[in-house]
Amino acid sequence: MRDVQQPQGTVVVTGGSRGIGAAVVQALAARGVPVCFSYATNREAAEFVAQQAADLGTPVLAVRADVSDEADVRHLFARAEELGPVTGLVNNAGVNAPAACVVDIDAARVRRLLEVNVVGAFLCAREAVTRMVRAGGGTVVNVSSRAAVLGSPGEYVDYAASKAAVDALTVGLAREVADQGVRVVGVRPGLIRTDIHATAGDPGRVERLQRSVPMGRGGEAAEVAEAVVWLLSDAASYVTGTTLDVSGGR
Ligand code: NAP
């Protein structure tokens, strides 16, 4: 069996300051892959992740950039090129909202979820793919959610819909650029222990729901990161236009 080739070039990870994104940054840095990651507001968390990667001797850049802001996204990719050609993107930055039924959801909430989770993913994919085609290839990994399939009734159908849009981006963009050396794939995490649940007002969510997971437990951010790293690697060279569930069977 041939060796698993890690990405050559720089990988951009959005939302790398905490949770799944931070675990992806750590997993790539441990393999010596240069990483440029974004964060929204939490500079302290970003500096901690950057220091951990730097301690491994891997070039890393932390850039404050809101993925829903076009100028910020352009700035993020310009900074990433300081580390070398961009050949990987992990479209990870995402937000959720407190549990609510569709009949109680207002326009501002839906717009915010779509702005960050969908518009952000499209803007970053555009900047990445433009550069990857120029560089002769690359891989985009979109971080979706099992919510896209389960629909999240009584919790956040709007969030689920935003992730279903991400899944459609994976399929459509993959087919647009498959003959230009660019792969577009996704992961659908299930219940993963990160801050996102507390931020959406439900800190005990994973503990409460983990019995509904066939494997009987919540997942760790590092377990999602390993799937992302594999999808980015040359070991996944014939995989495109598809999304992998990382959800303990849920
Ligand atoms: P998290 O712990 O809340 O971390 C979110 C990250 O995204 C942070 O680094 C945050 O930056 C960044 N971020 C938020 N809004 C942003 C924006 N507008 N622009 C740029 N960065 C932004 O979340 P997580 O659980 O790791 O989630 C990561 C991804 O996995 C999301 O797409 C989420 O929908 C998806 N997911 C999570 C789960 C789960 O159970 N945890 C399940 C399925 C899917 P700051 O640190 O500056 O705030």
Task: State the CATH number of the domain containing residue 146.
Answer: 3.40.50.720
Tell whether 147 is covered by a domain.
yes
- Specify if 5 maps to a domain: no
Q: Tell me: the pLDDT tens digits for 191-247?
A: 999 999 999 999 999 999 999 999 999 999 999 999 999 999 999 999 999 999 999
> Considering the entire predicted model, what is its pTM?
0.98
pLDDT digits (tens, 9 = 90+) for 158-180: 999 999 999 999 999 999 999 99
Characterize the bridge pairing of strands 60-64 and 86-91.
unpaired
CA dist list (Å): 163 to 4, 54, 96, 136, 159: 29, 32, 11, 29, 6
> Of the candidates 20, 16, 49, which has an alpha carbon nearest to the alpha carbon of residue 189?
20
Between the CA of 179 and the centroid of ligand 1 the distance, in Å, is 31
What per-residue confidence (pLDDT) applies to 7? 74
* Mean pLDDT, all residues of the chain: 97
Give domain status of residue 51, yes or no.
Answer: yes
Residue 177 belongs to some domain of the structure: yes
- Ligand 1 centroid distance, CA of 68 (Å): 13
Residue span of the structural domain in which 241 resides: 10-246
**How many CB atoms are located within 10 Å of the residue 57 CB?**
8
- Say if ligand 1 is within 6 A of residue 67 CB: yes
Residues 191, 206, 116, 103, CA torsion sign: positive
Mutate to test the pocket of ligand 1, among 36, 37, 39, 206 (most ligand atoms within 8 A of CB): 39
Q: What pLDDT is stored for residue 233 in this prediction?
A: 97
3 domain residue, yes or no = no
CB 185 within 8 A of CB 144: no
Query: What is the domain count for the chain?
Result: 1
Helix, coil or strand: residue 144: coil
Judged by average pLDDT, the poorest of 6-10, 12-16, 87-91, 191-195 is 6-10
Would 150 be classed as within a structural domain? yes
